[in-house]
């Protein structure tokens, strides 16, 4: 059965699968279970066995298997396609997030670019392989995971399946292709990230008597200035990757105070430290804290929470052969694909850390991901699916 890619992507976008991003929220738009149910029905319609792996309530990975010419247990190749089911929240969007609209060759809606478009490209290639059964076809596992946008727990759980008795995985995959919006370039390396919250405490009181109070926002001010110096003067000295550049630091949120006429007794910031592919997240976290201790000293007392997100990077030492195979397949489909690195994180990192060479490939641009009018160019969707099909038929020759 061939898939209509535009229709499939429209159906996926119409199913809300918002990641709550660690917040205690509720509503019909949250979690991935609607997409999981849709995928299970699709895999069954293709005649493929599939398995759910519960990760959290209403959040399950799902994996389908297309058996190849030679069993992986008898030496046949085993390829993993992986895409995440979740999207970021929809606040601030200027279009209807779950009413897909096609206009001027683009499909608009939350997740169209990140990453239901890449998922659809993989599903299209899988369906075509299932229908045509080309000679020498490898075994393909199509995994759709949860919680990529806030911690990679779905992909991390997935890596346990290939050593679990009775799993749909006959063994550990030989290679993995992870879907993300790479503009049809082949990503072999990306940064990691560590994120945490930092708190300044004060003593509240009436703003007409600030001398009797301790202003927590004022206490946070020298911390922010020190972090700005860290980003400007320190992070660039901590190393460089030829494809990913240098480490970075950013403060993404600040919150504090109850009202303009109350001296605030608390102020909280969230810190984002981007890592080189081989940097250790906990060590980077500790490095920033030690720097603040030296720079700010004991005059300002702040508290650092343990990280709420630890994401390792994707190194490029083990995936060169895989990358060349994907690049060759993409170029045979008429694409001008290069081998590149990117600054953002993906599910490829935990998969690679589990011993499976992994690359990242897909339609769309990261510049369109998470945006107020998120969209995907449909010609890139078709091109990505063709490239993935060609990769699967020749990757491990």
Do 185 and 204 reside in the same domain of the chain? Answer: no
Q: Per the omega criterion (within 30 degrees of 0), is the bond before 115 cis?
A: yes
Stretch 95-104: mean pLDDT: 98
Whether residue 123 contacts residue 62, with contact meaning beta carbons closer than 8 Å, is answered with no
Mean of all residue pLDDT scores within the chain: 96
Q: Report CA torsion sign: 228, 233, 235, 236.
A: positive
Is the pLDDT higher at 115 or at 299? 115
Q: Are residues 251 and 317 in the same domain?
A: no
pLDDT surpassing 90 at residue 344: yes
User: Residue 369: is its pLDDT beyond 90?
Assistant: yes
Same domain, 121 and 62: yes
- Whether residues 157 and 29 share a domain: the answer is yes
Task: pLDDT band for 395, please (50, 70, 90 cuts).
Answer: low
pLDDT above 60: residue 155: yes
> What pLDDT, on the 0 to 100 scale, is given for residue 299?
58
Rounded to an integer, the average pLDDT of 340-349 is: 97
CA separation for the pair 182, 188 (Å, rounded): 11
- 142-153 average pLDDT score: 96
Same domain, 45 and 131: yes
pTM over 0.75: yes
pLDDT for res 346: 97
Question: Which of 293, 310, 327 is the last residue before a domain boundary?
Answer: 310
* pLDDT score at 54: 98
Out of 310, 344, 370, a domain closes at 310
pLDDT value at residue 202: 94
pLDDT at 70 over 50: yes
Same domain for 352 and 288, yes or no, is no
Name the packing angle between helices 33-45 and 5-13 (round to 10°). Answer: 150
pLDDT digits (tens, 9 = 90+) for 252-305: 999 999 999 999 999 999 999 999 999 999 999 999 999 999 999 755 679 999
Mean pLDDT on 75-93: 97
Q: Give pLDDT tens digits for 45-61.
A: 999 999 999 999 999 99
Q: Are 106 and 72 in the same domain?
A: yes
242 has pLDDT over 50: yes
pLDDT at residue 310 tops 90:
yes
Q: Which residue stretches of the chain are H helix?
A: 5-13, 33-45, 117-132, 153-161, 216-229, 281-296, 320-332, 348-353, 378-394
Write the pLDDT tens digit of every residue in 313-336.
Answer: 999 999 999 999 999 999 999 999
CA pair distance 382, 379, nearest whole angstrom: 5
pLDDT-above-70 percentage for the chain:
98
Collapse the DSSP code of 150 into the 3-class scheme (helix H, G, I; strand E, B; otherwise coil) and give the result: coil
Does pLDDT of 396 surpass 50?
Answer: no
> How many of the other CB atoms lie within 10 Å of CB of 90?
18
Specify the number of domains making up the chain. Answer: 2
CATH of the domain at 11: 3.40.630.10
pLDDT exceeds cutoff 90 at 1: no
* Percentage of the chain lying above the pLDDT 90 cut: 95
Q: State the residue range of the domain holding 107.
A: 5-190+313-394
Q: What is the CATH number of the domain that holds 287?
A: 3.30.70.360
Please check the confidence at residue 397 and state whether its pLDDT lies above 60.
Answer: no
Q: Are residues 36 and 127 in the same domain?
A: yes
Same domain, 19 and 117: yes
176 & 206 share domain:
no
| Overall average pLDDT of the 77-95 stretch | 97
Q: Are residues 297 and 327 in the same domain?
A: no
Which of 271, 288, 310 marks a domain boundary?
A: 310
């Amino acid at each position: 059965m061939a898939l209509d890619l535009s229709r499939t992507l429209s159906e996926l976008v119409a199913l809300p699968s918002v990641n709550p991003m660690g917040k205690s929220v509720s509503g019909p738009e949250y979690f991935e279970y609607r997409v999981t149910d849709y995928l299970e029905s699709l895999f069954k319609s293709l005649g493929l066995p599939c398995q759910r792996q519960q990760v959290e309530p209403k959040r399950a990975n799902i994996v389908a298997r297309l058996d190849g010419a030679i069993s992986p247990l008898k030496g046949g190749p085993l390829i993993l396609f992986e895409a995440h089911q979740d999207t970021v929240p929809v606040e601030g969007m200027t279009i209807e997030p779950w009413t897909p609209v096609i206009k001027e060759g683009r499909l608009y809606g939350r997740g169209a670019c990140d990453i239901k478009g890449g998922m659809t490209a993989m599903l299209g290639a899988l369906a075509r392989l299932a229908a045509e059964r080309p000679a020498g076809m490898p075994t393909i596992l199509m995994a759709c995971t949860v919680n990529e946008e806030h911690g990679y727990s779905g992909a991390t759980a997935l890596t346990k399946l290939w050593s679990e008795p009775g799993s749909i995985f006959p063994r550990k995959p030989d290679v993995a292709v992870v879907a993300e919006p790479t503009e049809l370039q082949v990503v072999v390396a990306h940064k990691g990230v560590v994120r945490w919250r930092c708190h300044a405490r004060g003593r509240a009181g009436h703003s007409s008597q600030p001398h009797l109070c301790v202003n927590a926002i004022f206490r946070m001010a020298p911390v922010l200035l020190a972090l700005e110096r860290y980003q400007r003067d320190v992070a660039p000295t901590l190393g460089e990757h030829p494809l990913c550049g240098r480490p970075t630091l950013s403060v993404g949120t600040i919150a504090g105070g109850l009202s303009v006429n109350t001296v605030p007794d608390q102020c909280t910031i969230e810190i984002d430290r981007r890592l080189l592919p081989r940097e250790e997240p906990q060590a980077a976290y500790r490095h920033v804290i030690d720097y603040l201790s030296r720079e700010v000293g004991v005059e300002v007392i702040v508290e650092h929470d343990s990280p709420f997100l630890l994401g390792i990077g994707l190194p490029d030492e083990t995936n060169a052969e895989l990358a060349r195979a994907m690049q060759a397949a993409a170029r045979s489909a008429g694409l001008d694909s290069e081998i590149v690195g990117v600054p953002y994180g993906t599910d490829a990192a935990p998969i690679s850390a589990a011993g499976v060479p992994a690359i990242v490939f897909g339609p769309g641009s990261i510049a369109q991901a998470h945006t107020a009018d998120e969209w995907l160019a449909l010609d890139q969707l078709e091109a990505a699916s063709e490239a993935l099909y060609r990769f699967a038929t020749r990757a491990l020759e």
